[in-house]
Amino acid sequence: MKIVKEYTLDYCNVQYREDGIVELEILEGVNIDADMANYLVRLAEENIGKPFGMISNRIHSYSLSFEAMSILAQYEKLAALAIVVHSTKSRLLVETQNFFIGALKKKPIQIFMDVATAEAWLQSTLRALENNAETV
């Protein structure tokens, strides 16, 4: 997994990888709002030309506004989302948030307890989506 570009923002760290995966780590206590989500979408537009998978590595505790969830869920190039949690409390919070994300846009979303499993699932999901696009 080669990192092709990396950003350190006031509220998160973003890594763009050559395998079509973006890894996002939001900092502790941040509330991702619509402006932040729009900026992340603009970064993706600048760095990725095709559908991609995202790993949201929830090392820290943070929240997303409904508007931010909506912006990210409706972003067409975001093909699949893997959320890595590190506690039961975090998993319950993510499951609640996923209810809203799933209701906004039907995309593959899974929750994992480790990054390696999330990466494997995203790579497999991206390959399947690419193969389906080629046969259409």
pTM score: 0.86
Assign residue 104 the CATH number of its domain.
3.30.750.24
Give the tens place of pLDDT for each residue, 87-126. Answer: 888 878 777 776 666 555 578 888 999 999 999 999 999 9
Q: Rounded CA gap, 62 and 41, in Å?
A: 19
Contacts of range 92-96, beta carbons closer than 8 Å, 24 or more positions apart: 94/58
Mean pLDDT (whole number) for 2-12:
95
The pair phi, psi for residue 50, each rounded to 5°, is: -140, 170
In eight-state DSSP terms, residue 27 is P
Lowest pLDDT segment from 54-63, 73-82, 96-105, 126-135: 96-105
Q: Rounded CA gap, 65 and 106, in Å?
A: 19
SS3 18: coil
Domain range for 95 = 3-135
Q: In the chain, how many domains are there? A: 1
Q: What is the pLDDT of residue 54?
A: 94
Lowest pLDDT segment from 7-21, 49-63, 85-99: 85-99
* Helix axis angle, 34-47 to 66-74, nearest 10°: 20
